[in-house]
Amino acid sequence: MTERSDDYYVGRLIERSRLLIALSEEIPVETKLQTQPMLKQLEQALEGPPEEHDTDRVRAIYAALYGELADYADLEALLGALKNFVPYL
């Protein structure tokens, strides 16, 4: 079994979130249009070694995403799972 890095899992969780938002019929188009760019910003903010992350920015983007998506159980679970791989969230 291949061991994967935390960065790998963070990327997969963000990609799954992006896909789920795009495909969901219950999420309003306005919410989709607001959250898709936020996911890209979060992905960019989490690039590179953790010690180089702007933790305040990452937390702010995460909080905004969570606020928009917490009503959707699958997305709440994916965002919650990010906390396992990004310890300062």
Residue 2 has pLDDT above 80, yes or no: no
pLDDT tens, 4-58? 888 999 999 999 999 999 999 999 999 999 999 999 999 999 998 889 999 999 9
**Domain extents for the chain?**
6-85
Q: What is the pLDDT of residue 4?
A: 84
pLDDT at 1 over 80: no
Other CB atoms within a 10 A radius of the CB of residue 47 amount to 11
Structure-token pair, residue 32: 């989709």
pTM, to two decimals: 0.91
